[in-house]
Structure 1
Amino acid sequence: MAQNRTVVSESPLKAPNLVIEFPQISLAEDEGFTTALADLVNAGYTEAEAGIFKPGYLRTSASEIGSFIKAGVLAVASVPSPETTSHRQPLGCIAIKKLDENRAELGLFAVVIEQRGSGIGRDLMDWAERWCLENLGGPGVAIAQLDLLVPTHFTHPFKVRLDLWYTKRGYRITGSRDFALDYPSLAPQLVGPTEYRVYEKTLA
């Protein structure tokens, strides 16, 4: 997988010296780095999926994050760590899983809560879509796909906001499936009936 790297320009809201890249494989063994990433993902998903899963459910773990880094599928937004010059502090991430020659699935999308609204989420999504264009079928052929987990027994405000955000970016719903049927091992963790909606966008 190409080791694309983007240095994001500084802005009044965004953390300075922000870099988006596939981290070096060695960081998969850096417990501080993988734990920080797992913590920010779990914190974000705990809020974004409140009322969907029972209390105590965690979206990921440091070991899983490490495996994603080793596989080269997790892009990370980070800044220099204030504690050391040799390490970086993660502020967000997005996974890019190639499904076939023309399609990739985007997932594990999260930004540290303190940086929401700064534009890091937009930059991560822009980065992922650009990667798809450069590494898949080409303009007009590359397709980015993502899933949105939505409860069907109540209206979830965070999911409504995400649906609007994805729609504004050009994503369209192409179908939906019962989450419990496709992921039976996680079904006991659900509070109520839940579906995941599949969105896709043709990139050009």
Structure 2
Amino acid sequence: MIAIAAPSLASDVALVATVTDLVNEVYAVAEEGLWAGPTDRTDGTEIAKIIAAGELVVAREGGQIIGVARVCRLPADESVGEAGMLVADPKRRGAGIGRDLLAYAEGWAVDLGLKSMQVELLVPREWTHPVKQFLREWYTRAGYRVVRVTDLAEDYPALAPHLACPCDFLIFNKPL
């Protein structure tokens, strides 16, 4: 079952901790080598805010969280939705959880009358990261196209100094 977490669940300490741990576990592997030193992708405060805003999509199986994604409208262009922080339980890789979460996010955007969906991907410039290469190909197969390649510092200036290597920040878009 996939659904947006009720905003009232932002105060559910166990839910916030479970989501935070899952996101950080997946990103630790997905972004290994990109950051100087250990870096968590998120924290409980950010996850609680995402839940409170009605932006957290949760995939469950047998009552357990098996994947999550964040959905929102882009502040700069409210006709565009964004899916981010999309993760699936590593023990269930290949089961279609990511595909189902992305399809849900796209359906959410269509229901709101949005024209397109955006995803972002940080990739090393001088070497091939296997997870990033997989994700780039996966987004492309899902119909997303790179519409902008930029420096992370342009969109996230506070994060750029923490990179361990030069990276490109890819913006993908898919018309809905």
Shorter-chain TM-score range: over 0.9
Which of 29, 49, 61 pairs up with 1:47? Answer: 29
Which consecutive unaligned segments of at least 5 residues does structure 2 have?
none
Deviations, residues 35-73 of structure 1 (Å, cap 9, x unaligned): 110111011111111110123200001121111000011
Q: Contact conserved, 1:143 with 1:201, CA < 8 A, in 2? A: yes
Aligned counterpart, 1:143: 116
Determine the structure 2 residue equivalent to 1:112: 89
8 Å contact kept, 1:101–1:136: no
1:89-139 CA distances to partner (integer Å, 9 max, x unpaired)? 3211111111244211111111111111111111101111111111124xx
- Number of the residue aligned with 2:103: 126
> Paired residue for 1:93?
68
Offset at residue 187 of structure 1 (A): 2.3
Q: 1:153 aligns with which of 126, 151, 171?
A: 126
In proportion to residue count, which structure has more helix? 2
Task: Kindly report structure 1 stretches of 4+ aligned residues shifted beyond 6 Å.
Answer: none
* Distance in 1 of aligned mates of 2:62 and 2:13: 17
Residue 102 of structure 1 aligns to a residue whose secondary structure is strand
Q: What is the aligned-residue RMSD (CA, Å)?
A: 1.4
The alpha-carbon distance between structure 1 residues 66 and 174, as it changes in their structure 2 partners (threshold 3 A), is same
Percent identity at matched positions? Answer: 40
5+ residue gaps, structure 1, are 1-18, 82-88
163, 168, 172: which one aligns with 1:190: 163
Larger Rg: 1
Aligned residue pairs, count: 174
CA distance in 2, matches of 1:62, 1:136: 31
Counterparts of 1:97 and 1:179, CA distance in 2: 20
Paired amino acid for 1:105: E
Alpha-carbon distance in 1 for matches of 2:19, 2:107: 23
Query: Retained in 2: the 8 A contact 1:180–1:194?
Result: no
TM-superposed CA distance for 1:192, in Å, is 1.0
